[in-house]
Structure 1
């Protein structure tokens, strides 16, 4: 995961937009990056979720759901045009959970490295910031899943490539990915499998920035980009110049999921899970993900403390 403080996150957002040949106004029009959150999707109180909150649990501030969030990249979470309001899919999910629990949302922007101690010490009620469930993290935290951890294959919008589902589908293709990442590990494993079967090797390409990657795709120097789905979906949603043709779990060959993270044994995980399942059932959850072009990451059911990625 990328880690940005306020200034770096703003710079990153500008770089992404510039790389796509876009202005902030165009992105704001598509994804509503204004600081006005009055039109944010809202939910009704979920009485079952409220009743599940143990009497022993004390919120950081009575009547509020205090959530730590790292504004690392759109569309997950980023800073609005006022440079201080955090907007994106995770803030919207946090808002829905707060509504369901009958609480007012209090978002606290934090550096990625700071949330574990903050949640463990009770400084924050939860962190909702693209945290993947792992067995190591489960030793210190409880989880309520709300999104798949997804990597996406994106091609030029008029590409003849219609679907990428398995290793043979990328045989002989020129694939952009990130050096030293999970996605690189996966694509190299797929390439090895293809070669062992006598298929054409993959030409793996690496670029330093989004501008170079986009240019390579649009010019035909590369066939497909394989990187985190969320940021590629954001690009595709704004420009219309690329399209999603396949997804792979970020934990391939295992399934990885993103979750609301709470203090171990606090008793808040189950109420949050109940709230999320209510939001999945009434469609509010899907509405948020669709708005941020993250429908490919939707889950059918939230789970408390499911199996996580194994320790390395």
Structure 2
């Protein structure tokens, strides 16, 4: 689990960075004020689509749970308190559209389902992928494609395009994630084909994880492409060896997550679509180098990743 100290270490590296090509074209703004954050006008139709009996955690506030600590999704600003990043920017657009003040509540990944179900926050905006299992308890409003990436030590020539390319390799992945499910399916497919099994590795500490890549104890790290691309650009220690949809072999999407039947999803979906049409959505993604993961239309409860 990344700590605030880990986040601040990344902030220190990012504060002077100027990236080119596919990375950032200008220095990253880490100020708590976020003057470049894109804002949205009030969306009366989105407000109308919120159920009349919908309950919010606080009057006049859109309270959002977020697993804070990893850029570009969300991390702490230079004041070490304010949460900034791509997810807070998206949350701000939705809050503005609904005519509410945004409040971000930092929570662990393991705790967000309970926090949402208990009403501690109205929505979770924290790189949550739509799955059929999650749809049993939650509603979804999609806002970004889910892309995964295999990242390796910068000097490692490894290229990964298909399941057989990882046979016999030592691969790091986070437990309980959809990328873990995909990697295990790839492994099953390879073993049945007579190929060597994958050695799956799990780490709770990012420092230890990247030491494993540096030392050769692990061959690759499979995770959210946006997150790993950001880190690779900042530190120059790793590179992309291959990427694919987080729903391999089908499309997977990231979504604003709300309580099942809470009456919020349709309004949030409409708010996102309004921002897609008027261009503010594209600007918000571009701030954090996520344009490649933009969607053409937000959908409420689309087909999700199937059960494992």
TM-score (norm 1): 0.76
**CA distance 1:286–1:222, change in 2 (3 Å):** farther
Query: Residue 102 of structure 2: SS of its match in structure 1?
Result: strand
Offset from partner CA, 1:34-53 (integer Å, 9 cap, x none) = 22223212122233322322
Shift of residue 185, structure 1, vs aligned partner: 5.1
Matches within 5 A, 1:107-146: 107-146=104-143
Q: Distance in 1 between matches of 2:295 and 2:144?
A: 6
Q: Which residue of 2 aligns with 1:40?
A: 37
CA contact (8 A) 1:143 1:269 kept: yes
Offset from partner CA, 1:6-38 (integer Å, 9 cap, x none) = xxx2133256x4xxxxxx333134432322223
Q: Distance in 1 between matches of 2:236 and 2:111?
A: 36
| Greater helix share, structure number | 1
Q: Distance in 2 between matches of 1:39 and 1:79?
A: 16
Q: Which residue of 1 aligns with 2:227?
A: 231
Q: Distance in 2 between matches of 1:284 and 1:306?
A: 23
TM-score (norm 2): 0.77
Q: Distance in 1 between matches of 2:140 and 2:30?
A: 28
> Over aligned residue pairs, what C-alpha RMSD do you find?
3.5
Query: Residue 31 of structure 1: SS of its match in structure 2?
Result: coil
Q: Which residue of 2 aligns with 1:279?
A: 275
Shift of residue 215, structure 1, vs aligned partner: 6.4
The answer to whether residue 78 in structure 2 is matched with residue 71 in structure 1 is no
Q: Distance in 1 between matches of 2:66 and 2:201?
A: 30
Q: Distance in 1 between matches of 2:275 and 2:78?
A: 28
Matches within 5 A, 1:247-266: 247-266=243-262
Q: Which residue of 2 aligns with 1:83?
A: 80
Q: Distance in 2 between matches of 1:104 and 1:243?
A: 39
> 2:5 pairs with 4, 11, 19, which one?
11
Q: Which residue of 1 aligns with 2:92?
A: 95
CA contact (8 A) 1:177 1:184 kept: no
The answer to whether residue 14 in structure 2 is matched with residue 27 in structure 1 is yes
**CA distance 1:179–1:113, change in 2 (3 Å):** closer
Query: Residue 15 of structure 2: SS of its match in structure 1?
Result: helix
The answer to whether residue 173 in structure 2 is matched with residue 178 in structure 1 is yes
Query: Residue 45 of structure 1: SS of its match in structure 2?
Result: coil
Q: Distance in 2 between matches of 1:146 and 1:185?
A: 22
Q: Distance in 2 between matches of 1:211 and 1:62?
A: 41
**CA distance 1:109–1:167, change in 2 (3 Å):** closer
> 2:299 pairs with 280, 300, 303, which one?
303
Q: Distance in 2 between matches of 1:178 and 1:66?
A: 30
Q: Which residue of 2 aligns with 1:54?
A: 51
Shift of residue 219, structure 1, vs aligned partner: 8.2
CA contact (8 A) 1:57 1:268 kept: yes
Equivalenced residue count is 296
Q: Distance in 2 between matches of 1:129 and 1:179?
A: 15
